[in-house]
Amino acid sequence: MGRGENGRFLPGASGNPGGRPKGSLSKRLAEAAAKKSKLRGRSGMTREEVIAEEVVAAAETGDLDAVKFYADRTEGKVAETLNLHAPDTAFPGVSDGDLVARVVAADKQQRRESRKAGAGKEDLH
């Protein structure tokens, strides 16, 4: 397997060239969700129906994560757009492409930092 001196895989090389089979996790989740629930009072429902009921009930109480989850799956996720307009004198010597690349890189860094900060929080639900 193509590894560099530092032990990392070289560009284009992989330790798992076949990769994970496409849809394998999704397929298993769908199969598990299609089974009947074993929860008391929900025995006639599928697990998928129980999950849907719980999401809607949480959204109904004002849980914004549940509202977003519900809306993303029923209405589709809202596309994020970024409109940049700066006068030519705002960033002298910086091309539009370079400016966009800097903004995208800063956005990625901010998202990474947000995920790291959120990873330490306990789930209070």
pLDDT per residue over 29-59, tens digit each? 889 999 999 998 888 999 999 999 999 999 9
More confident residue, 32 or 96: 32
Residue with tokens 């330490």: 120
Dihedral sign (CA 66, 69, 72, 73): negative
CA-CA distance, 35 to 54, in Å (whole number)? 17
C-alpha to C-alpha distance for 47 and 42, rounded to whole angstroms: 9
- 125 pLDDT band (50/70/90 cuts)? very low
